[in-house]
Structure 1
Amino acid sequence: MALFKFYNIQLLPMDTKKTKEVGVEGYCKLFNALGDQIDVVRSKGSKLSSIAAKMRGEMYFAPYSVTIKEYPSDDKLKPNKLVHGYFLKFDDVNELVDTESGKLEYRSKGNTSSKRYELEFVFDPINHILAIHDTKGLPAKNPLISGLVDILDGHAHKLFPEHNLEIEELTAADSVKEFFEEPKQGITSYSGLVTFSNSDDWDEELNEELRPEARKAERELKDLSVGKWETKYKSFKASMMSDLPRIAKIQMMLATLYGNAEASYVTADGTRKKYHMEDHPVREELKEKEAPQGTLNRAIAIIRLITTAKMKTRVSEDILTKNKNLL
């Protein structure tokens, strides 16, 4: 059994009127540059840590293998593409000493580790979503996103100077549904952040009743080249909001795929609780016994997990438009 977590990696035009999206070829170009960088490091005999992101505890996070592969699409003349590879999390230890005496026991020629974790990934350039193996050694959400940004941002800026790199973890829509279904006395605060996608189909993730309002809001923000939409609401002191504004609900629905949201509230029995969207990442399982043989077939199977994961970010329940559980 192999569990995967998912991250939305976007190259967003900073001026939406003058600059187009990079598309599938652009995302492949980004990862191809990463693969070329690995090849240069190996050809020079340099340490992998020289291109790694520094992590806590004297650990490093670096790309180890990047390969762009093709597989059949509906158009026989234009196959689909995916990126398969591995990241490494490791330490960089060149000397080992005796614990008691402190005497040198071993000195390597360099590029050696005492801790090494290999993390398989697949990137879907169509949906611009990365699936990464959720196993021992995988950094937590924020250090991982920071590491990915460190690794990719230099290439992104060099290749696409008119675009901005944004990375968000996919979170499960079920958690939003459960938040609204829980009976409450009221809500005391809400904060949300969405990094807008420039894809034309982003609003397909929305409840139909909310789509017209969301389209209008998105169109205005897009026309103004607004990159991030941040919202905060607070109740009066010693009071509670009877509900969230509709615009906050729209933001919350989009945040499962493009951002984050959190809220503080009081349950029906008077308990104060907090909802953190980031506590509910989407995870999908690749069953090893059922996994197809061969690297390409395995990668295609993980691409299917990405499609499923994206579906799980969809919030389409009436609970968001008819919040009946506020007392």
Structure 2
Amino acid sequence: MAVSTIEWVDGRIRMIDQTLLPNEFKQIYCDDLPSVWEAIKSLRVRGAPAIGIAGALGAVLGIWNSTEKTYDAFATELKSATDYLATSRPTAVNLFWALDRITRTAQENSHLQISELKEVLLTEALEIIDEDKAMCRAIGQHGMALLNENDTILTHCNAGGLATSDYGTALAVMFSAHEAGKKIQVYADETRPLLQGARLTTWELMQAGIDVTLICDNMAAQVMKEGKIQCAIVGADRIAANGDTANKIGTYNVAILAEVHGIPFYVAAPTSTLDFALETGAEIPIEQRAAEEVTEGFGKLTAPKGVKVYSPAFDVTPAALVTAIITEKGVARAPYTDSLMALRDT
């Protein structure tokens, strides 16, 4: 992408407001903690790696104008900021990984003057951005080796540059293949209820000049049955130690359909999305979203007022349905308990 999804500019956080795409491209600024929290919660910034970056920059923003003179008082203020940001969205582990990294950096540099410590924390947050860019490019390179000439890929939700700092995870595989001259096509699920696939994935792929076809979520089985799909590639918000993968609601459906039709189902994610503290996906917290996103998404009432709504934002795909997990360090295959640990220690 020519424009960064999220960045630090003159003491503020600038990001693309993804709720407005594709009708309007607008960059907004976050000047304080509540505005960062709101941006994450409302999906102005979204995608596990981008949420992690928002958390890191948000923590820095929370202490940037601190007037505390001692490390203990400063650390208390930082903890208040990180605890607050951690309540914005529960499922994407990258958020907590980034907040923990900022906290750990502060602890390791507690001997510095507060003014110096602030700069160190900002440098660490910016390093997370640079690392994410490199990881996404590496994911693309590892993943494109799994694609053949003339393959058509199904993807769900948005795991492109908008979901990261630069290049994406699942879409990085497609971008890399396209840039290498491989002829590929993509089918993108619309991704109910907020249409990240329709609004964001198709927009990104069209900008890159990749042949993309939009389908409704409930059309995936039919296009697979017709032989139009050679593989499915999705991103991830959290991956348990055994390879169980949490991603946008509807991903589990795609994995089941891929299994039935004999189609490889790939997950693309940086190792920062791996959560070795969780043995299985049963332990992954699943965010519940507001009923209005289903009943009156984008301002139009589409269901009777007062109807009960159940709206989990994510589902968990069992590792048994995952053909491979593509990371910046390489491609992991079952048994994931061993292969993911080996990648982590690489």
TM-score of the aligned structures, taking structure 2 as reference length: 0.24
Q: Which has the larger radius of gyration?
A: 1
Structure 1 or 2: more helix by fraction:
2
Q: TM-score, normalization: structure 1?
A: 0.25
Between Structure 1 and Structure 2, which shows a larger proportion of strand residues?
1
